Structure 1
Amino acid sequence: MTRDGITKLILRTSKQDRAAFDLLYRHTSSKLFGVCLHILGDRADAEEALQEVFLKVWAKADRFAVSEVSPISWLIAIARNQAIDRIRSRRPPSLEIDRARDVADPSPWPEAHILACDCVRLVHRCIDHLPKEKAEAVRSAYFDGESYAVLAARYNVPLNTMRTWLRRSLIKLRQAVED
């Protein structure tokens, strides 16, 4: 059957024309069955998939748009997708659960957590040794996320002075932590 003939059968099927649907089945079922069989690898499964394909064609023929795309390509896409969906539905649901056991826990080990807590305490102790204004500025900038401009306004210093305070404070902190 020609491309135009298949297109006309699909368009008539979209209007619920059973005779056109029957002709469409007779002219395309062997090719679509071959697609399903190739993907599924099982004759009985391919036959069931083919039935589902034609149920979809009957229900969705009105979605077919006449264009440069071949009507048989539209039908093959439906058959291919149906066969792939059948393969996906075969997978046991516990397969994903079994794979979940192999996923590493991203949380740190207890030892790493303790070390991190010790490091945090050390940093806070070192900050406490800075002059009061500079310690408050460091906490506000790096723990609370306040901008240099906000901090410069709060402490009534020029913006570049605030940057210098914070940079020098970080250098002192690094030296204190390394010691």
Structure 2
Amino acid sequence: MDKSPAKQARDALSADIAALAGGEHDALRRIYEATSAKLFGICLRILGDEKEAEDALQDVYIDLWKRADRFDTSRASPISWLATMARNRAVDRLRAGGKVRSGAVSEEAAFDVPDKDIAADEKLVLDERDARIHHCLSKLEKRQQSAIRRAFLGGATYVQLAEKDDVPLSTIKSRVHRGLAKLKKCIEKP
């Protein structure tokens, strides 16, 4: 049974938390890369101060380091669990400071803090997709790979590619068309 990309991303994040709980130190880096933007956004929105938000975020990852073994997939998604930790750390900093800073939200409103960044699980899905595309691109014949990279990643037109490669326009169009067909087939493989 195929899993949705979002489910795969949640499972990967859950697996990284479990790996961290098991002592795999590199798992913390993967978790940080996948979640730090969202968690920082939560802390910043609550605290209204970048430095305070950075400190709160650091506290979140220190807590995670110590408490990864407490994560229970049956009770929460990994990103929800981490977001709750971030919210709690930020609120703790508000309480310790004794006042709400300018631009910060109330403690009650902190539960519904919006984050303009993409969700961590969506970022994981996009990262996986990008890695898959680059992997499949590397499998193409070199001239097809080059034409597709220059056209779609570099912004070159077919005319520019034909002139640079000193080949007819129809040759470039054929290379790109055949390359895209192979690329699509590779990307869609389970």
TM norm structure 2: 0.47
Query: Relative contact order (C-alpha < 8 Å, sep 6+): which is higher?
Result: 2
TM norm structure 1: 0.50
Larger-Rg structure: 1
